[in-house]
Amino acid sequence: MSTTLSRVQAAYARIDAVDRPELWIGLRPRAQAEAEAMALDARVAAGERLPLAGRLLAVKGNIDVAGLPTTAGCPAYAYDPPADAEVVARLRRAGALVLGTTNLDQFATGLVGTRSPYGAVRNALDPTRVSGGSSSGSAVAVALGIVDLALGTDTAGSGRVPAAFNGVVGLKPTRGLVPTTGVVPACASLDCVTVFARTLPEAEQAMTFMTPPRDLPQRTPGPWRVAVAAPDQLGELDAGWAQAYEAAVTRVAEAGADVRVVDLAPFTEAAAMLYEGAFVAERYTAVGSFVDKAMATGAEGLDPTVAGIITRARDIPAHQLFADHNRLAALRARALSELADADALLLPTTPGHPTLAEVAADPLGANARLGRFTNSTNLFDLSAVAVPAGEVSGLPFGVTLIGPPFTDDRLARIAGLLQPEARLAVVGAHLSGQPLNPQLLALGARLERTTTTAPEYRLHALRTTPTKPGLVHVGENGSAIEAEVWHLPAEGLGRLLTTLPRPMTLGRVQLADGTSVPGFLCEPAALTDAEDITAYGGWRSYLRRPHPQNSPHTTDK
């Protein structure tokens, strides 16, 4: 079965299994997605280079996808786009396959994920809690393992808050780096298209296709310089969150970063201005006339909280906007002075994680609290990456690295200090260039080195279709077998193990240098009638052997 087709079929089975209909506004018919998958597999088989082939993509419902209505979370607003948004087109050209469009806080106005006539999007791990918004459906679709990648938008934190609440990665690039052509605006001067993924390398890979080639800002060699907040400036946090933040700061410091405390006041003061000041007027510019007409005609599907925010923005006087611009410029100067030569500011992504009931009881207050650490980022024209940083009471805790514009790649490198990694030894179908190697790459794995095992193993060609290798530890009667050692996120290794079929098992593999790492081994019972291929020294050498006529393995590739 072809790689992309099998992944599409697994995704639709997963959609049925998780039973979260509120995730989707427009889900493509299964037959249509399968037909595209087969076409992609045929193109790859013909030698076409499609780096994202096999990756499944969900797209926030305010971003155009040809063939699906763009609703921005409001049925009465829906239109049929003539073409994909530019960012969707770029990912599709690289081989990604779109499954559908996802639910959102209506008109991308909110950080909670509940402001939608299509239903409140529940958290991926605890359905009594909010998923975070406004890119709620996109983040949850990734967290639940339905898709590999998802597009969102971020004006006030919509590409970071849902990432934190659902334990995934959210990259919010520098403003203007990713085109917003074909995106329904929230605040056009602040909007960014963001990407969600389960691992940082996956998100980074997608971002390379979303952005044009560019010259990156350079810095002098030395340890990363990371600014952090004093505990008394974080404000009220949920129980356990202050300790989780301190643990993240400690991990960064132990990884070699130079950590120092800065004054957070200019960041939090600017954050309050996004909705309390005149900048919200730009939301009225985007969709205000539609909302006014819809309210006048009694159109169904308007979220009352969103409609109230947008209509109130209509009457903000122009002089307040100019005054707020002046105040913002002063706050930005203070903020950049505080950061000085820091490479990044490390903050909790949010102060806490509310329940659906808490948001329903105080929709404006709960939402405002969630933007304390995120609202100022786009106002200050900064870049950011949100990553998981542990758990509190069994739920994800996330942090965000914020930095100067066009330091997106640098932020990702610093964020990597927070991501636990595992090592894995492979000797067969997961080797570079072999059929299952894309599984490792999709999990964000990177090759450390090619080596051999200690001379204590034997390798067998199992009687499976297709033929697979089986590595067993035998001790003194063994030989050295070619192996590769890969680094991958620890949670990625866990996901890989859930798909590991018998007779394969995970055990410790002793390497030639005396170290041992986790690796794939084979249950001895599976070796009955299996060909001992140890003499070839490795799986790739075995596959390159001359094939005698009528050999039972002449179809090996």
Instruction: Give me the helix-helix angle, 30-45 and 3-18, nearest 10°.
Output: 150
- Has 293 been annotated as catalytic? no
| Domain boundary residue, one of 351, 384, 418 | 418
On whether both 427 and 409 belong to a single domain, the answer is no
DSSP conformational letter for 121: P
| Residue keyed to tokens 């390398």 | 201
Rounded to whole angstroms, the Cα distance separating 51 from 148 reads: 14
CATH of the domain at 356: 3.90.1300.10
Q: Is 60 a catalytic residue?
A: yes
Maximum Cα–Cα distance across the chain? 86
Give me the catalytic one of 134, 135, 136, 479: 134
Q: Are residues 435 and 465 in the same domain?
A: yes
pLDDT digits (tens, 9 = 90+) for 40-79: 999 998 999 998 998 999 999 999 999 999 999 999 999 9
Same domain? 442 vs 516: yes
Assess whether 158 carries a catalytic annotation.
yes
Exposed (0-12), middle (13-18) or buried (19+): which is 272, by Cβ within 10 Å?
middle
* HEC letters along 389-408: EEEECCEEEEEEEEECCCCH
In a domain, residue 548? The reply is no
Residues 401, 537 within the same domain: no
383 and 456 within one domain: no
Contacts of 362 (CB under 8 A, 6+ apart): none
Please give the Cα distance from 476 to 498 (Å, whole number).
32
Q: How many domains does the chain contain in total?
A: 2
Domain assignment of residue 336, given as a range: 3-418
Same domain, 317 and 401: yes
The rounded distance, in Å, linking the Cα atoms of 328 and 271 is: 10
Q: Are strands 56-60 and 97-102 parallel, antiparallel or unpaired?
A: parallel
Q: Do 414 and 425 belong to one domain?
A: no
3-state secondary structure 529-549: CCEECHHHCCHHHHHCCCCCC
CB 68 within 8 A of CB 27: no
- What is the per-residue pLDDT for 237? 98
Contacts of 79 (CB under 8 A, 6+ apart): 69, 70
Is residue 555, in this structure, part of any structural domain at all? Answer: no
The answer to whether residues 147 and 253 belong to one domain is yes
Instruction: Please give the pLDDT value at position 216.
Output: 64
Specify whether 447 is located in the same domain as 398. Answer: no
Catalytic residue selected from 60, 138, 376, 468: 60
DSSP 362: S
- pTM metric for this prediction: 0.80
Whether 552 is in a domain gets the answer no
**Confidence at residue 246, expressed as pLDDT on a 0 to 100 scale:** 97
- Strand-pairing partners, residue 452, are 482
Residues of the chain with pLDDT under 70: 1-2, 215-221, 420, 491, 498, 547-557
Check 135, 138, 158, 479 and give the catalytic one. Answer: 158
Question: What order do you get walking across the sheet with 421-426 strand by strand?
Answer: 446-452, 482-489, 421-426, 516-522, 504-510
Three-state secondary-structure class, residue 88: helix
Q: How far apart are alpha carbons 279 and 155 in whole angstroms?
A: 11
Q: Tell me whether residue 304 is exposed, middle or buried, using C-beta atoms within 10 angstroms of its C-beta: 0 to 12, 13 to 18, 19 or more.
A: exposed
**Strand partners for 479:** 457
Rounded Cα distance, 515 and 509, in Å: 8
